[in-house]
Structure 1
Amino acid sequence: MVERRPALTLLAHLTLILGVLIVAFPVYLTFVASTQTAEQIAQSRPLSLLPGDHMLETWKLALFGGETSAGSKIPAALPMLKISLISALVISIGKIAISLLSAFAIVYFRFPFKQFFFWAIFVTLMLPVEVRIGPTYEVVADLGLLNSYAGLTVPLIASATATFLFRQFFMTVPDELVEAARMDGAGPMRFFKDVLLPLSSTSIAALFVIQFIYGWNQYLWPLLVTTEESMYPVVMGIKRLVAGESYTEWNVVMATALLAMIPPALVVMLMQKWFVKGLVDTEK
């Protein structure tokens, strides 16, 4: 029997509400700033907590670009959002596909030096990004992949973490399933497609959410491999809005920042059930 304690329940709810307020308040301030003009933001000390009446023109300027009343040129956020979306999807799907296949090979195939190759993949977890980023950039530059989607995504689609997680999960699959599939005449790829992939669906969903956000928030790598504004992702676009002009249009910066939050937030909300299940599933 579960003992009910109203005081502890109230304390837990108050703690949760406080946490939500702490997280949501900066987002609300960002929204308020995006509904005002740059002059109002510069003159208001402290910033007003009530939305202004310039939301439509600010968001239109952030999405499609143009010139402000102060003469600042604003780049359109829509192409940058498209680049970020394509990069995040390619990185997340590529990481999952390669990790699934590599884990499948390590667990279910016998070949020379299998453990050596597994540990070689695992050791890459200990190498910080800064160690690998120089040689990786040189390879990308030599292949002529600068300022391209391939240069933005291909060097980031390998994941030792995802390979390790799928390998650990595949090792928990009962041997009876393998034997049953073999008796039914299923080959390796059919077993992979019809048995392992459905069993791994929750893990795939959880990893997709994590890797999508990872790909969407990339800044250092795009900063190196893109020199043309037409290939800037939205994270670089926000930085350019802040440092690109002598006069910063903070209302447009805030609107662009909110636009950059929407796709990852939608992915998390739409896949929340699968994400939580993939992290806490007792079968893992």
Structure 2
Amino acid sequence: MSKPTVTSDSAQSDPSTVRDFLSVPPWVTVHVPLFVLVTLSLSPIVLAVLMSTQSTVEIYQVFNLAPGSEGLSNYDTVLTEYDFLTYIPNTFVMASIIVTGEVTFSLLAALALVYYDFPYKNVVFVAILLTLMLPFPVRIVPLYNLVTDLGWGNSVLGLSGPYVASATSVFLLRQHFRAIPDSILETAKLDGVGPLKFLVYVLIPMSKGILAGVVVINFISAWNKYLWPLIIVSDRQKQVVQVGIAYIQGTADAGLTQWGIIMAGSVLALIPPLVILVAFHRPIIRTLGIQAN
């Protein structure tokens, strides 16, 4: 005669129920790391904004992370006494000229490299890429001599002229154009569309995302120029914002660096690139294949 089997509650429990109880909700594994990363990324900006409202004495109190007693007076000092009302427009004009020139020349160069056949085309492309191997400090002396010989010293042309061509932009646009199906080119040829019309009405509308990325990258790069403006511009009223921040660092209050005013200038210098990035973020996101709400 067989013995009756005894079943315990633990044996009768469903293993999947235990796993569901112990499992972490999906939103925790996604949102918590994102929240931590965003907090770490934004913390330097938050600290800069807080320090921009503090006095010199409050800045040197390391654990003082509260808004300072100066409020917006540091910003008023930067804009009026340290000529940031001049430096910011100067920098914006320089960056706009550089971005316009780089996008225009890069589009034309990429169009020629992809859709035209001419001798040594690949050699030309390699020569363009080789310019990336020459860091800017190596080119400073001959570039300075060339710009001054042209009479562009201490001018907007001298600031922006050496940067209106970009090998990086040419490379990015060339690779993007090569990914466009050849059938589109054949259709344009059958319709009698010329090269420039093909560029304006076909390639550019199909390249909004990559062009937005090129604009953002080049604008931020141009906005942050420091070494070349410091060398080529001798008139302080024609200087750019990054050199202006360096001017503030050269001043002192009771032997202490005025970090509150420096942070105010840095926050003001951050705003235009941030606005450009926000303005062009949607086409960049669409190009990366990310769903934007």
Same fold (TM over 0.5): yes
Instruction: Give 3-state SS (helix, strand or coil) of 1:55's partner.
Output: coil
The offset of 1:184, in angstroms, is 1.5
Asked if 1:181 corresponds to 2:188, the answer is yes
Instruction: Give 3-state SS (helix, strand or coil) of 2:267's partner.
Output: helix
Instruction: Give 3-state SS (helix, strand or coil) of 1:123's partner.
Output: helix
The Cα offsets for residues 222-254 of structure 1, whole Å up to 9 and x where unpaired, read as 121112211211111111101245653222111
Distance 1:169 1:177, change over 3 A: same
Kindly provide the amino acid, as one letter, of the partner of residue 96 in structure 2.
L
Contact 1:83 1:232 in 2 (8 A): yes
The Cα offsets for residues 31-50 of structure 1, whole Å up to 9 and x where unpaired, read as 222222224334xx224221
Kindly provide the amino acid, as one letter, of the partner of residue 216 in structure 2.
V
- Residue matched to 1:93: 100
Output the TM-score relative to the length of structure 2: 0.84
Of 243, 267, 271 in structure 2, the residue corresponding to residue 258 of structure 1 is: 267
Distance 1:76 1:47, change over 3 A: farther
Aligned residues: 267
Distance 1:114 1:131, change over 3 A: same
Gaps of 5+ in 1: 66-74
Kindly provide the amino acid, as one letter, of the partner of residue 277 in structure 2.
V
Of 270, 275, 279 in structure 2, the residue corresponding to residue 270 of structure 1 is: 279
| Distance in structure 2 (CA, Å) of the matches to 1:253 and 1:31 | 11
- Residue matched to 1:10: 28
Contact 2:56 2:256 in 1 (8 A): no
Please identify, of 255-264 and 54-63, the stretch whose mean Cα deviation from structure 2 is larger: 54-63
| Distance in structure 1 (CA, Å) of the matches to 2:188 and 2:85 | 48
- Residue matched to 1:55: 71
Distance 1:138 1:20, change over 3 A: same
- Residue matched to 2:149: 142
The offset of 1:198, in angstroms, is 0.8
| Distance in structure 2 (CA, Å) of the matches to 1:23 and 1:188 | 44
Superposition RMSD in Å = 2.0
Asked if 1:116 corresponds to 2:136, the answer is no
The offset of 1:56, in angstroms, is 2.5
| Distance in structure 2 (CA, Å) of the matches to 1:36 and 1:172 | 52
Output the TM-score relative to the length of structure 1: 0.87
Of 192, 211, 215 in structure 1, the residue corresponding to residue 218 of structure 2 is: 211
The offset of 1:95, in angstroms, is 1.0
Please identify, of 171-180 and 235-244, the stretch whose mean Cα deviation from structure 2 is larger: 171-180
Please identify, of 144-153 and 19-28, the stretch whose mean Cα deviation from structure 2 is larger: 19-28
The offset of 1:152, in angstroms, is 0.9
Q: Percent identity?
A: 36
What does residue range 19-168 of structure 1 map to in structure 2 within 5 Å?
A: 19-42=37-60, 45-65=61-81, 75-168=82-175
Contact 2:58 2:68 in 1 (8 A): no
| Distance in structure 2 (CA, Å) of the matches to 1:47 and 1:252 | 19
The Cα offsets for residues 97-136 of structure 1, whole Å up to 9 and x where unpaired, read as 1111001011112223222212211221222222222211
The offset of 1:7, in angstroms, is 4.6
Please identify, of 233-242 and 179-188, the stretch whose mean Cα deviation from structure 2 is larger: 179-188
| Distance in structure 1 (CA, Å) of the matches to 2:37 and 2:132 | 32
| Distance in structure 2 (CA, Å) of the matches to 1:166 and 1:7 | 43
Contact 2:251 2:258 in 1 (8 A): no
What does residue range 184-195 of structure 1 map to in structure 2 within 5 Å?
A: 184-195=191-202
| Distance in structure 2 (CA, Å) of the matches to 1:160 and 1:41 | 42
| Distance in structure 2 (CA, Å) of the matches to 1:232 and 1:247 | 25
Looking at CA atoms only, which structure, 1 or 2, has the larger radius of gyration? 2
Distance 1:279 1:212, change over 3 A: farther
The Cα offsets for residues 42-81 of structure 1, whole Å up to 9 and x where unpaired, read as 4xx224221124223221111122xxxxxxxxx1211111
- Residue matched to 1:72: none
Contact 1:203 1:279 in 2 (8 A): no
